[in-house]
Structure formats: structure tokens, C-alpha cells
Structure 1
């Protein structure tokens, strides 16, 4: 067993190590940027792009940080796919640096930093996060920054890190509500270890909490103005979404985590989380305990949540930041005996993860791998421009017709890929706050006009809108393909002479 890390000063990062880390991170960022520009947007990304065109303090689905970042990126570099996704590219680069430094500081070993970089980049979850932009992009940055500030506070005891921690926590919440789930782990360290308890009597501790709350004010103000609609939605989504078969949902969740984290690395991360919690507590090392306390409970939360509702594969993503650092640190701390016994499995885990990441990038860029469509998440990137061209052809025949859809993702994609970025209305919504691309004044101008309704599964949606229009007729059907295989089929319907009802909040 290596000496207690608390008795050793952390190694400095030499010029050679820094240059190598910067070079590798820049190379990965360039690869991510190329992929970002070579693939079409997904539905969620296009929807978030709508947010960036009408900036708000917060939004119906998530807080606003990602929209603010995207607005800055597109203002500087235009509205290409690469510019829209640039925040994701930069976020993963920042997390790479932070993860390296957290591991170096927590384990007093620069090898832990390098293994953290390797483990993170050998997961599909982290690899995809460097290309696809979501609210998780800023969330991962501020989650990592919170861990970094906390580890530095524990190590150095300097007041400034307390304020950096408060700032990171508040900005993280203004990125995504998931940020609240880091708080129990951090508070546990402040409560259980003398290095943390010493701050309870300091007025600066409470000032840092006030700073964190002040940073959340955009989300709180917006929700207060709109009857707390976003927070109520998230609470309902988390606790009031029963599923028909909870055990099937649980197995699906575990399967997606094995796939996105890669199977062997997932197993090592579970071990790393447990090791960090147990060893950190037993040896009185709050930094190690912190890594386990901000990862294992988060994964357990979503594991339990999967019994009551669908959990998207990337939702537990922040848990794997602490887990990757803990796993890398455990690997370099356990000594030669453990390393020899697990070396084969460790190398296999990294190699398998690397191969799966390479395959993901190849599929994202080419769609050539023979993956079944239903099992290929990359298929959501395929041929939205083809659908937009078909809609535009019908729109050219009816210049006064408006376009509408039943899904916010489709509304975002059509707005982006149709010439001139026109408003695409959403059924069951008068616009803001549900979707920020239009408001009730825009919807009020629709009566008497024809609409072009774009729908994938039209039976129930047509029943819903039929009373609002004089007549409905199918114009054309468009197949959306990926790698030469049909992903889904969209219908374009002519909805004649809108009356009322469809574009009111429901």
C-alpha cells in the first residue's frame, strides 16, 4: 500500500507534462470539432438552438447556461453545426484539464492524472459529450470545477477556494438541475472531516453559500415569474413517472450504462467509487471520500429512478467524473501486487473502451458500420435536411402556409434546416414559455391560414388537430435514412384554414 497521500505534497506539473496534456487535448478538440461540423444536428440540439435565438433567464425544460454559451458561439462564428456545438467541444477540453488536476492533487501522483484522462476518453459517454451539445456541457464543467475547488480547499485551506466552490455550484445549477445532486456529497465532507468542519464557524462559509444562491437567481426568478413551471416539471419527471415494468426499465438503464461507459470500465468505476468511499473514510482522507460521495449516490439515485421512469443514458454522466478520478487514483495507490493481478483486466478495459469510442466516431461520420437501426443512437443525426427540403418544396407551392409539428425536436430541426429559419409552430402550445421561438401574438395571426403539418406517427396527432382545421389531406411521405436504412417515415399534411384550439397551451 502506498503511503498516505495526505502526508505527501502533490507533484507539480512540469513543462513536458503540461505540453503533452495540452497537445492531446487540442488534438481531441480538433477531432470533435471536425465531427461536429460533419454531422447534422439532433432534435434536442436544434431545440436548444431555438433557445439561443431568444435568450431568457431560464427555460421550460432546463436552465439557460447552455443557451447563453451557444448564443455567444453562434454570434462569433455563425450558425453552422460546428459553431452550435463548439461549447461541447470546449467543455470537454476544460473537463479534461480539471480531471487531470483533481486526480494529481487528490492522489499526490501525476500518474493518477494521466490515467483519469485515459479512462474518461475511453468512454462513449465522454466521447459523445465532446461533439453533441446539451445542457450537460456546462454542467460537466461546473461539476468538475466544484470538485477541483473542493479538493484545493481541503488541500490548501485557502479562503479563495471556498468562493470558487460557491461560484461553481451556483453556475452549475444554472446549467442543469442535476447539479443539486452534488451537494449531499460535498456537505458530507464538510460535516464528517475536520478539514471541512473548520469552515462551519467562518462567516465566509455562509457567504459562499449566498454566492451560490445568487448565481442561481436567474433560474429562480424565471420560475417565480412562470408559476415554477420548470421546477414542477422536473419534480414530476423525477418522481411521478411510473412505468409498466419497473424491472425491465432497470435492466434497460443498466444496459445503457454498460454501453455508454463501456462494460469493463463501468465495472472498474463501480469498484473505484466503492474504494474511494471506504478508503477515504477509513484513512481519514476527505478528498478521496469526496470522489465516492459525489459519484456513487448519484448513480444510485438514477438507478432507483429507473424503477419509476425512463432514464436517458447521459443523465448520470456527472457521476462518472468522480468515479473516473477515483478509479485512476485507486489504480496507482494500491501498489504492485494489485496492479499485477488486475493488469490484464485493466488493459482490456482501456482497449475495449478505446475501440468502442473509435467505432462511435466512425459511425457518426460515415454510418457505414452494420449496426441495427434500433440499436444505433447515431441514427438520430440522419437526413433531417432531406425532410426539410420536402417541406420547403410544399411550402413553395403555398407561400402563405405556416409549418407546424407535434414534437419540439422536429420543430427545432425544421426551423434550423428550412431556408430563412421560419417559425415552426408546436401543437398544444401558444409558444413561450413552452417553446421560445414564438409567443401567443404569433399564434394569434394564424386563423384563416393553411398549415403544413409534419408528423411521424400521424393517427392520434391528426385526431387532435382535426377540429381546428377545415380539412386535412396527405401531401407526401418522406423516408429518413441512415446508412442506407430507413430510420422512420414522416408525413406532410395540408391542414386547411386554421380556426382555433391547436396552438393554445394545453
Structure 2
């Protein structure tokens, strides 16, 4: 065994060990936490009951992952969420490979550790959503991309096809994978040597694999009026009255210190500017900046124009964390690196403690962060208990997509019964705004006798006005913590007659 091989092998073993250890901890937390599915998770579970190549608001990967894990262990919350920590474990190992290939095994190990402790990654590993799969496949595609220059002939074609296929899987996870295409374009423009790798056969292999993987989703979108693409574009919300929101930009930048980590984000943002101005960027630095910067900058512009969620820049995490690790080691900033690991380790430990014991979060003033994962099963129980005692119901209707998704999941035993009234969504606006309204709208043929639950106080009068008669209201109040509760109104309604909707606003006309 050569001496040069020992550090690389030792670093790989260490990366495997820390990834496995933290993944086991995360899995234990999933199986122990009392937190319920939050409504978007319940929605993804509902999608997974009918496999498809696309859904109303998201590509299909999140539903496919839930289908696989629930087929393994059943429909309980831990198995619904199981794919998330597994995807993030794979992403961390891809990050190690990227760092090792570009800078050496020590940087690969440092980047792997930083990635595993990134606050946004920690959250993403605890809930089932689109980001975990996106980061897994984007990291894999980037690992294949940086491997390309070390190959030739048929091996290069295989690597290019692998990069294209992994990028296609990233697109099937979340359309934010487009940032990787922007990164490739920027890198090829900025680095002449990089362009030499991409011969016509190599380009054909990568694009062919990408299109082959992505084609079923493109066909699904075409058959469904490109609903997923339209929903993704609508999130930009550029139709707002004011298209200049410096406060939103400041909130977004502040959030990056939280989700990427205070020291890593400061190093990435400040170091990138300083290194570029002093022209001290290496070719490896330039490559990673081409992939890390576009999500950060484009989402910052989006925040200034309208608004942006903190996780919208997640596509830059893998490249960004490798760059941070490389710079801290190059600058011999050992104290800062240890500080970054320690800070993010404390945050990760606190988060896991809150997941295991939401009461601890309540006592430390963090209850608001977990309110969306509480109270849904109790509301659903009140709804289904009432429905089971009325065999003459034509439908059970809700006025909120969150409640619909939660009721579908937590009421799955009741709604699977042959004598159960079907779960339906009261459609408030002229046109459907979500998948529940598309696939399960309350129809006139089911509106003879309806058990309704309203969790949106502003919508309740409008919902009642769509029926000829309604019963007295029963208030259901579920305590979430010492300060918060979730309130709903439960009532029987008969004679569903959908009133006209305003042609301009799409909202119900006054009764």
C-alpha cells in the first residue's frame, strides 16, 4: 500500500463513519419524535398512493421516495419521512468526493463534516420534502462533472451520461436543478480548459441521459397544462404591487446565516468577493463558485423584487460548503473551522433535542417553529368521529388544503372504509389553486348532506353561504403549546349550491 493512498483511504473511512453516525442519530429521532406530519408532508404521502410522473405543484421524486419507504415499513410518520435522512447521507458522501477530487482528502472530509452539520441540511433530513432528494442528486451530478477531466474515451462518455442522468433525477426532485445548468454554462465560459472536455460525443451523452430521465415528466406536464411549471413560476410572485423590497432582501440574507451557518456563509460571501478582487481564485475555486453563486445571487434578486424563502438557495449548498472548507484549510484558519463545526454542532444538537422533546422547545421559546407539526391528528379525529355517527353523509368537506392533506393522512383508516363519506375540498375561488381542488372538489352531486370543517375563519361565512342550510357550529379547539391553539368550526350543511365567483378576482360574490 502506497503512502499516498493511506490519507485518502483514512479520510474516506472517516467520512463514512461520521455520515453513518449522524444518520443513525437522525433515524432514531424520526422514530422517537412525537411531532406529526406537517400538511405538506401529508400531501406528499397522499401523492405517493398514486404513483405518477408529476403532480400539481412538484415533480414526482418526493412521492416516489415515500412510496418506497412506506412499502418497506408502513404508513406511520417515521417511514413517510425515512427517505430524507438517507438522501442527505448520500449527498454528504458526494460532497466528500467533490472535495477530495478538487482539493484532496483532507478538504473532502472537512467539507463532508460541514455539510452534515449545516442547519438547513439538518432540517431537510428531518422532514420529507423536495430539498433532500434535490441536494442528493445535484451533489452526485457535480461529483460526476468534476470527475470528467480525469477520464477519456468511453470512460468519459459514461461519466458524462452519469452526470446527465443524475441531473435529470435532480430535476425530477425540484426544478431548482436548473441552477446546475447555469453553473455549467458559467464554468464553460470562464474556463477555457474546461471547454476542451466537452467534445460533441460527450455533450450528446450528457444531454441524451438528461432528456431520457426527464422526458416522462415533460410529457406529464404537457398533458396537464404544465401545471407544475406554472406553479413554480407563480411562486416568484412578480405581480406584487411593489417590485422593490429591500426589507425582504435583508431578511433573505440574514436567513442564509441561519440555514447555511453563520461562519460558513460569512466565509463564502466575504471570501468570494475578496478572492475575486485579489485574483487569487484557483481553477477549482472558480468551478465551485460557478455552481454556488447563481442560486445565492438569483434568489437574492428574487427577494428584492418580491420575496424568497431561505431554502430556495439550497442548490448551492454542496458547492458552497466544499469551497468554504477549502478556503479555511488553505488559509490555515483552524480556529475558524473548529468554530464553524462547533457552532453548527450545537445548533444540530439543539434541533434534535427539540424534535425529540417539543416541550423543551416550548420552554426555550421555540414553540412557534414546530406549530405546523402539531394538532392535525386531533382535528381529524374530531372530524372522523362525528362522520362515523352519521351514515347519511354524502361527503366530508374542508376549506383548507392543509386540513385536507392532514385529514387524508390521519383519517386514512376511516376514509378507506367502504361506508365512509368521501373527503372533498370546498373550492373557494373560480379556478383550482392546488391539487386537492383539482382532484377532489366538492361537487353538487355530493352536496346533499355534508359534514364540513372550516379552519380558515375568513372563509367560513363564504363556505356556509354555498349551502341552502347549515346547522349550529361546533367549535373544536386543539391546544398546540402554552400560547397557541388550532381552532376549527364543524357543522352539517345541506343543499350545496355553488354561488357565482367574481370574474376579476375569482372570489365568491357576496351572499
TM-score range, shorter chain: 0.7 to 0.9
State the match for 2:20 in structure 1.
Answer: 26
Per-residue Cα deviation, 1:344-395 (whole angstroms, up to 9, x for no partner) = 443333222211111111112212133445x732222223222222223322
Choose the corresponding residue for 2:70, options 71, 74, 80.
74
Per-residue Cα deviation, 1:243-272 (whole angstroms, up to 9, x for no partner) = 667122222222322222232232123245
Mapped contact 1:384–1:413 kept (Cα < 8 A): yes
| Aligned partner of residue 109 in structure 2, secondary structure | helix
Confirm whether residue 89 of structure 1 aligns to residue 85 of structure 2: yes
Confirm whether residue 459 of structure 1 aligns to residue 458 of structure 2: yes
Per-residue Cα deviation, 1:406-460 (whole angstroms, up to 9, x for no partner) = 33222111111125162532222899994269836984651212222231x3133
| Aligned partner of residue 450 in structure 1, secondary structure | strand
State the match for 2:450 in structure 1.
Answer: 450
* Closer, same or farther: CA 451–241 of 1 in aligned 2, 3 Å: farther
State the match for 1:145 in structure 2.
Answer: 140
How big is the shift at 1:169? Answer: 1.5
State the match for 1:348 in structure 2.
Answer: 339
In terms of mean alpha carbon deviation, does 267-276 or 325-334 score higher? Answer: 267-276
State the match for 1:235 in structure 2.
Answer: 233
Mapped contact 2:157–2:205 kept (Cα < 8 A): no
What does 1:147-162 align with in structure 2 at a 5 Å threshold? 147-157=142-152, 158-162=156-160
Q: CA RMSD in A?
A: 3.0
How big is the shift at 1:295? Answer: 1.1
Per-residue Cα deviation, 1:195-241 (whole angstroms, up to 9, x for no partner) = 32224442331232132122221221112112222212222322525
Q: Which runs of no fewer than 5 residues in structure 1 stay unpaired?
A: 1-8
State the match for 2:399 in structure 1.
Answer: 406
Whole-angstrom CA distance in 2 between matches of 1:20 and 1:290: 26
* Closer, same or farther: CA 498–488 of 1 in aligned 2, 3 Å: farther
Confirm whether residue 126 of structure 1 aligns to residue 124 of structure 2: no
Choose the corresponding residue for 1:35, options 29, 32, 47.
29
Whole-angstrom CA distance in 1 between matches of 2:22 and 2:64: 24
Per-residue Cα deviation, 1:109-156 (whole angstroms, up to 9, x for no partner) = x11112112212332111111111101121111110111011101333
Mapped contact 2:236–2:307 kept (Cα < 8 A): no
* Closer, same or farther: CA 354–192 of 1 in aligned 2, 3 Å: same
Whole-angstrom CA distance in 2 between matches of 1:271 and 1:297: 16
How big is the shift at 1:315? Answer: 1.8
Mapped contact 1:87–1:133 kept (Cα < 8 A): yes
Choose the corresponding residue for 1:185, options 174, 183, 194.
183
* Closer, same or farther: CA 419–60 of 1 in aligned 2, 3 Å: closer
State the match for 1:329 in structure 2.
Answer: 326
| Aligned partner of residue 459 in structure 1, secondary structure | coil
State the match for 2:287 in structure 1.
Answer: 290
* Closer, same or farther: CA 257–403 of 1 in aligned 2, 3 Å: farther
In terms of mean alpha carbon deviation, does 302-311 or 194-203 score higher? Answer: 194-203
Confirm whether residue 316 of structure 1 aligns to residue 313 of structure 2: yes
* Closer, same or farther: CA 400–102 of 1 in aligned 2, 3 Å: farther
Per-residue Cα deviation, 1:94-119 (whole angstroms, up to 9, x for no partner) = 011101111011112x1111211221
Q: Which runs of no fewer than 5 residues in structure 2 stay unpaired?
A: 416-421, 507-511
Whole-angstrom CA distance in 1 between matches of 2:195 and 2:188: 5
Mapped contact 2:162–2:209 kept (Cα < 8 A): no
Whole-angstrom CA distance in 2 between matches of 1:319 and 1:497: 52
After TM superposition, the score normalised by the length of structure 2 is 0.86
After TM superposition, the score normalised by the length of structure 1 is 0.87
What does 1:365-444 align with in structure 2 at a 5 Å threshold? 365-367=356-358, 368-369=360-361, 370-372=363-365, 376-401=368-393, 402-420=395-413, 422=415, 424-428=423-427, 434-435=434-435, 439=439, 443=443
Mapped contact 1:52–1:70 kept (Cα < 8 A): yes
Whole-angstrom CA distance in 2 between matches of 1:70 and 1:10: 42
* Closer, same or farther: CA 465–140 of 1 in aligned 2, 3 Å: farther
The count of residues paired between Structure 1 and Structure 2 equals 485
How big is the shift at 1:163? Answer: 0.8
| Aligned partner of residue 476 in structure 1, secondary structure | strand
* Closer, same or farther: CA 304–438 of 1 in aligned 2, 3 Å: closer
Mapped contact 1:277–1:288 kept (Cα < 8 A): no
| Aligned partner of residue 310 in structure 1, secondary structure | coil
Mapped contact 2:296–2:316 kept (Cα < 8 A): yes
